[in-house]
Every structure is written in C-alpha cells, then in structure tokens.
Amino acid sequence: SPQEQAKKRAGYKAADYITNGMTVGLGTGSTVAFTMARLKERMTEEGLLIVGIPTSIQTTMRAGALGIPLIGLEQAEKIDITVDGADQIDPEMRLIKGRGAAHVRERIVADASTRLIIVADPSKICSHLTGPIPIEIIPFSFSHVIRRLNEMGGMVTVREGVKKDGPVISDNGNIILDYTPVSIPDPSALETAINMIPGVVSCGIFAEFTSKTTVIIGEESGPRIIGL
C-alpha cells in the first residue's frame, strides 16, 4: 500500500545514519520495523556491527527473528542513536506516541540517547498535536487518574484488548488510558501536568527531545529530512 511504501522509505533512510559499533535504541511499531529490516540487510551486505536496545517485547521478538544482537539497557554505556516512530509530529518536532502502548520504555531509551530519529509516513505530520494521548498508569490508581483527567476536561477511555477481555496490559504490567483534551496549546506543560498525576507512569507526549531529534518523512518523492 502507499502508506506501507512511505513507511519503508522513511524506515530504510534512518538505517543510513547507523555506523559500525553503534548502540542503537530500537523503537516499537510498523515503521521502525523497516529500519530493523534494513539494518539486518546492512549487517549481511556490509558486515555492519551493532547492538540494539529494544523498547518492547514486540521489538525484542522482531530483532530476535532478524538476528539483530540485543543488550539490556543496564549494559549500555550510552545509546548513540534511537530510531522510533510516532503518531503525531508537529512543526517543532514535538510528538504524540504510544499507539502501540510502548511509550514508557521508548521515553527511557530516547532520554538515554545522544540522538533521536523519528520515522513516519506523511499522515503523521500535523499543524498541532491533538491526541488522543496514551497514558500508562498503575492499576491501583485507575479511578483516581480518570477523575483527575476528567477534571482537566476532555475525554478519557480505558484501552480495551481486542483478543483479550478487559484492559490492555502493557509490557510493564500496567493499564493504558487514551486521553483527548479539549486542546493542547502547550504540549510541554500538558506533558508535565499529566506525568505529575500520582499513578501515572508516563504519557505519550514527547516534547522534551526536539533539540536532538531528526524527523524522516517517507514522502512519495523520497525521504524528507527535518531537524539536525
């Protein structure tokens, strides 16, 4: 499909930034899956030597299937580059992430990285962030966080499993809420306000990484690079 082709263009281009000996943060989702496939091709064709740090069980399984060597975050001196996807990208490269409920580990790995490369098809670009904003919460806090978010205004839903009765459970054993505020005039302020609510592990607004972020958009005419 055209969208798959766009994801592939962006994902493949990101793999060009990876050089021998790097420790690479491996995000989660269908776009970064193309980056991982291209990294495997380069390992085979060029003998590229890297180690990956996965941000989810899904990425761990995909890397295992591809034969990309993995290490634990605790074993990494530093992470040179993390490649990840996004759900919304605004003109300042602030992001909404978490469609795949992986944003808690993705944020940790992004924070530990020297550089963040976001890969996306053009549908992710927006003039301003709107949400829904995924929020990972500890189950104990469930009713309290929902009350708090309702007080802030907007809509809150619990993310329900499709092939599992009851709520989606994250790789960390937590519950996911999807919160759509009335508007997001200040993404950074809202990120902080949500993350401060007791019981919230982390929300899917990523506004703090713009200074080390490059965005690659898989345009039809070819990958468009935004940022350093």
Instruction: Summarize as ranges the residues that interact with ligand DER (CB under 6 A).
Output: 27-31, 84-87, 97-100, 102-103, 106
Tokens, residue 189: 């302020």
> Is 106 a known active-site residue?
yes
Residue 111 or 144 having the CB closest to ligand DER: 111
Distance from the first to the final alpha carbon of the chain: 30
Is there a binding annotation on residue 165? no
Asked if 17 and 228 touch (Cβ cutoff 8 Å), the reply is no
Residue 9 or 99 having the CB closest to ligand DER: 99
Is there a binding annotation on residue 180? no
**Nearest distance from C-beta of residue 47 to ligand DER, angstroms:** 28
**Active-site residue identified among 4, 41, 46, 106:** 106
Is there a binding annotation on residue 97? yes
Pairing label, strands 23-26, 51-54: parallel
Tokens, residue 14: 């990101």
Dihedral sign from CA coordinates of 106, 110, 115, 116: positive
Residue 22 or 96 having the CB closest to ligand DER: 96
CA 15 to chain centroid, in Å, comes to: 16
**Nearest distance from C-beta of residue 33 to ligand DER, angstroms:** 8
CA dist 46 and 177 (Å) reads 43
Residue 31 or 202 having the CB closest to ligand DER: 31
Is there a binding annotation on residue 99? yes
Count CB neighbours of 126 within 10 A: 13
Task: Give the residue numbers of the binding site.
Answer: 28-31, 84-87, 97-100, 124
Task: Give the residue numbers of the binding site for substrate.
Answer: 28-31, 84-87, 97-100, 124
Residues with catalytic function: 106
